Structure 1
């Protein structure tokens, strides 16, 4: 009993303090970093709209695995399983979750009207802890970045090293 209470406290405190959680839904190939708020005993998320984060594999009633990172160092603190609950737009639970989420949403393109857009286009989910913590994996879970034309990886120009060393000697 004491262990269960400590696990619950660890999950809550770590998730409250972390700006991102890594969530892997049922059937999703990998975990995704998602912004969230902790509200009334669960992590609340908004997504799947054109302007919001994707929520792949997170369906109402399914399970998800949540990994919480340290806000200071970025390393894994705790992993836990969650039941996914989709909140109905306009319901009391939806309104309460959205009130918390809108305070954390950065750079919303439509400002105060975002809650109306969320009701029309998005899903608001609660990830409710279902039990204790999961063992942390031994190895790295890092994956190669997805290919994109935006990344450029080229050799450093030969003259750059000499130029930087000159500036250090002068200073």
Structure 2
């Protein structure tokens, strides 16, 4: 049940999952899966990363990625391979897509136009993730655990209890 258009493959499951996605787990080759805020437009997901935006190491220079979309309760709906392309600020696609992506961003400082201008000035990357090939996982559940060990973090020390001048009595 896939409609092949070039090398872009689409299934009803992927199409519906894309339409409703607000967050996607994106894994570039040799990298961990990262939860990234995204906007579904034109049969693809658009992700903004860079200074002042979300961190997505390796996504701006990648050509392929693995995208997992989860449901409202955290369960995986579908995992599919995606072709990654960077949308350049001088392109026609940027002019039509960047304002739409900026308009969907929650808690945005300033207007959508100001945000798009800041993305250009700061060198942020607007990446397009288009599904290609056959979904890797969908209806079938994995046999084993997909849990990964925790990543290294600078938060390794327990904080001290706050200082109190006097003892508080409870009645």
Question: What TM-score, normalized to structure 2?
Answer: 0.75
Corresponding position of 2:6: none
- The alignment of Structure 1 onto Structure 2 pairs a total of residues equal to 150
Match of 1:11 among 11, 14, 23: 14
Tell me if structure 2 keeps the 8 A contact 1:24–1:57: no
Deviation string, structure 1 residues 37-96 (Cα, Å, up to 9, x no partner): 111111111111x2101121224461100000002x111110000111001103111122
Question: Which portions of structure 1, spanning 4 or more consecutive aligned residues, are displaced by more than 6 angstroms?
Answer: 150-153
Does residue 1:46 correspond to 2:48, yes or no?
yes
Deviation string, structure 1 residues 2-54 (Cα, Å, up to 9, x no partner): x22495221121122122100001221x1000011111111111111x21011
Gap change, CA 1:137 and 1:98, over 3 Å in 2: farther
The unaligned stretches of length 5 or more in structure 2 are 4-8, 160-171
Corresponding position of 2:29: 26
Tell me if structure 1 keeps the 8 A contact 2:18–2:43: no
Corresponding position of 2:76: 76
Superposition CA RMSD, Å: 2.7
Tell me if structure 1 keeps the 8 A contact 2:21–2:40: no
Shift, 1:143, TM fit: 4.2
Question: What TM-score, normalized to structure 1?
Answer: 0.75
Match of 2:39 among 37, 46, 49: 37
Tell me if structure 2 keeps the 8 A contact 1:86–1:124: yes
Gap change, CA 1:148 and 1:60, over 3 Å in 2: closer
